[in-house]
């Protein structure tokens, strides 16, 4: 089995690529009937850590609220592209699960977690330079034999791509008047997108020749570009064409090796255009929430949050810890204390009433999610809605009511999520307000972000239709290929 993870590619974009032939190889697979292409819903939040914990470890409630958050157990902010953070989180996941899709000889490339794989090309293993150094020689085996270009051709191609990347970054940053993230993006373009994924693709070819039983290969190039240039940008779309050529080579190898491979294609979430809150408002979300002008809390909101309970006495905010606001894309986690336990609605009304009022009334915030009693509710346009009531909420048509209800059911399990979780409003079709400085976002609750894809061979010994959670994908693949 080879699982190819196309990170962040919206289902509608794949469908268009099939229809128009923009991804010629992938289009041929689907249009010929050789592969089924269907919708899938992986659960909330629509982010890579949550998806990979479910797919690789089979964890339904992994307590991974975003790609970046303030971790209540560790007492600090974590970011999943930081190796030491990925390693710490993987250790926690490993204590909760004794199973993995990659156990007993599997390999992984550019996933966040090693998940029992025999090789070490993932984010969590980068935390140990000694481990990486010891594994480097084995990772290089077979690369020279498998190359498709001679060294001169490769160097000329690499130099040309690098020059084009430098020019594009220069033009973009000058036009925008902001160089934030551009150095890191350029490094990603040159080292990761051009070298890294080419290396991983070649290693997967070698693995199939050697008969590695399970391979998990993540292509994150589209996702990287979509964050910085937008999901429908020319640069992001070009990455789909680049990946399509890789897929053709993988498929050809999968059919000719002694033990043929079934290739399963998945996407973990979609992307929407993002308009940064800072750009629209002229200040950061934190300034508005914590130091903005006082606004009254709606009587309907207060009544809904109390839910028939008596209010607590009004009191000053607890402790001396400064609040932490993590802008995770087009959603944000608001930690009003650094306690290990999140605040519930009664405590928020007692100590942080102004913050709740500002969040619930701001025009750029479409949904405020918070805990109430043993469950969770969403504040939408002055109303309070539980998971079973979301169907009646006056949400913008861009939002998925199914995903909103699912997130509210998941929030009590996301103990390290914020006391408030804010989702940017849908301000026009295919576009939401983003809290991070980026122009393509995910993790929110729109139809585009939460409508994912699974594509599998028509003659495979598994049916991957009707999937309603990433754990179901784990279970079906493990049952068909790991039994």
Tens of pLDDT, residue by residue over 63-107, are 999 999 999 999 999 999 999 999 999 999 988 888 899 999 999
pLDDT digits (tens, 9 = 90+) for 124-174: 777 554 554 455 555 555 544 445 556 666 567 666 667 776 777 677 667
- Cite the DSSP H helix spans in 315-373: 345-351, 353-361
Nearest to 215 by CA among 270, 259, 245: 259
Residues 112-118, mean pLDDT to the nearest whole number: 94
Nearest to 455 by CA among 22, 129, 20, 28: 28
Q: What pLDDT is attached to residue 121?
A: 87
- Average pLDDT over the chain reads 90
- pLDDT bucket at 188, cuts 50 / 70 / 90: low
Q: Which DSSP symbol is given to 439? A: S
Residue 189 has pLDDT above 90, yes or no: no
User: Helix, strand, or coil here: 442?
Assistant: coil
Q: 247 near 4, Cβ under 8 Å?
A: yes
Distance, in Å, from the CA atom of 434 to the CA atom of 326, rounded to the nearest integer, reads 12
Nearest to 295 by CA among 404, 382, 385: 382
> What percent of the chain lies above the pLDDT cut of 70?
89
Q: Which residues partner with 207 through β-bridges?
A: none
Residue 354: Cβ within 10 Å count: 17
pLDDT digits (tens, 9 = 90+) for 21-33: 999 999 999 999 9
Residue 406 has pLDDT above 60, yes or no: yes
Q: What pLDDT is attached to residue 459?
A: 96
Residue 27: Cβ within 10 Å count: 17
Q: Which residues partner with 17 through β-bridges?
A: none
Helix (H) or strand (E) holding 172, with range, is helix 151-176
pLDDT digits (tens, 9 = 90+) for 387-400: 999 999 999 999 99
User: Helix, strand, or coil here: 291?
Assistant: helix
User: How do 383-385 and 68-71 pair as beta strands?
Assistant: unpaired
**Between the CA of residue 379 and those of 291, 305, 456, what are the distances in Å?**
21, 9, 39
CATH architecture group of domain 2-270+451-481? 3-Layer(aba) Sandwich (3.40)
Q: What pLDDT is attached to residue 174?
A: 75
Higher pLDDT, 151 or 482: 482
Rounded to 10 degrees, what is the CA torsion of 188, 193, 198, 204? 90
> What percent of the chain lies above the pLDDT cut of 90?
76
Tokens of 172: 């973009």
Q: What pLDDT is attached to residue 132?
A: 46
Residues 421-431, mean pLDDT to the nearest whole number: 95
Higher pLDDT, 478 or 169: 478
Q: 254 near 260, Cβ under 8 Å?
A: yes
**Between the CA of residue 267 and those of 5, 13, 280, what are the distances in Å?**
6, 11, 31
- pLDDT bucket at 229, cuts 50 / 70 / 90: confident
Helix (H) or strand (E) holding 19, with range, is helix 11-20
Q: Which residues partner with 79 through β-bridges?
A: 68
Q: What pLDDT is attached to residue 316?
A: 80
Distance, in Å, from the CA atom of 108 to the CA atom of 118, rounded to the nearest integer, reads 8
Q: 334 near 423, Cβ under 8 Å?
A: no
Distance, in Å, from the CA atom of 260 to the CA atom of 256, rounded to the nearest integer, reads 7
Q: Domain boundaries in the chain? A: 2-270+451-481, 276-441
Residues 371-389, mean pLDDT to the nearest whole number: 97
Higher pLDDT, 180 or 248: 248
Question: Any idea how long the chain is?
Answer: 483
Tokens of 138: 């084995």
Q: What pLDDT is attached to residue 158?
A: 61
Q: What pLDDT is attached to residue 399?
A: 97
pTM of the model: 0.91
């Amino acid at each position: 089995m080879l699982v190819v993870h196309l990170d962040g590619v919206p289902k509608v974009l794949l469908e268009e690529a099939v229809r128009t032939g923009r991804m010629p190889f992938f289009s041929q697979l689907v249009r010929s009937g050789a592969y089924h292409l269907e919708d899938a819903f992986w659960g909330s939040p629509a982010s890579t850590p949550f998806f990979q914990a479910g797919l690789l470890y089979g964890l339904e409630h992994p307590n991974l609220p975003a790609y970046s958050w303030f971790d209540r157990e560790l007492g600090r902010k974590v970011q999943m592209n930081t190796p030491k953070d990925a390693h710490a989180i993987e250790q926690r996941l490993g204590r909760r699960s004794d199973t993995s899709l990659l156990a007993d000889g599997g390999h992984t490339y550019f996933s966040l977690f090693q998940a029992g794989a025999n090789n070490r090309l993932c984010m969590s293993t980068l935390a140990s330079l000694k481990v990486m150094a010891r594994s480097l020689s084995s990772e290089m085996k077979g690369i020279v034999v498998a190359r498709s270009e001679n060294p001169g051709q490769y160097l000329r191609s690499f130099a040309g791509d690098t020059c084009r990347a430098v020019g594009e970054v220069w033009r973009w940053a000058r036009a925008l008047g902001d160089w934030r993230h551009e150095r890191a993006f350029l490094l990603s373009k040159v080292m990761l997108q051009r070298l890294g994924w080419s290396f991983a693709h070649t290693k997967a070819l070698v693995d199939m020749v050697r008969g590695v039983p399970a391979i998990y290969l993540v292509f994150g190039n589209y996702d990287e570009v979509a964050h910085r240039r937008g999901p429908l940008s020319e640069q992001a779309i070009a990455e789909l064409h680049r990946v399509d050529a890789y897929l053709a080579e993988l498929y050809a190898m999968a059919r000719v090796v002694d033990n043929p491979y079934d290739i399963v294609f998945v996407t973990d979430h979609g992307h929407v255009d993002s308009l940064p809150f800072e750009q629209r408002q002229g200040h950061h979300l934190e300034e508005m929430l914590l130091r903005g002008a006082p606004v009254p809390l709606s009587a309907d909101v207060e009544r809904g949050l109390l839910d028939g309970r008596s209010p607590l006495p009004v009191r000053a905010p607890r402790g001396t810890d400064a609040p932490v606001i993590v802008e995770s894309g087009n959603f944000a986690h608001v930690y009003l204390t650094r306690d290990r336990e999140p605040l519930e609605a009664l405590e928020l009304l007692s100590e942080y009433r102004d913050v709740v009022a500002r969040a619930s009334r701001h025009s750029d915030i479409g949904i405020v999610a918070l805990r109430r009693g043993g469950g969770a509710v969403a504040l939408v346009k002055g109303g309070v809605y539980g998971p079973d009531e979301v169907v009646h909420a006056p949400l913008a048509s861009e939002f998925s009511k199914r995903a909103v209800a699912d997130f509210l059911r998941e929030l009590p399990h996301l103990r390290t999520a914020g006391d408030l979780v804010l989702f940017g409003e849908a301000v026009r079709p295919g576009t939401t307000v983003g809290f991070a400085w980026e122009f393509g976002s995910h993790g929110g609750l729109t139809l585009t972000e939460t409508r994912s894809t699974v594509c599998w061979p028509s003659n495979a010994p598994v049916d991957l239709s009707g999937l309603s959670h990433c754990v179901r994908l784990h279970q079906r693949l493990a049952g068909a290929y790991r039994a």
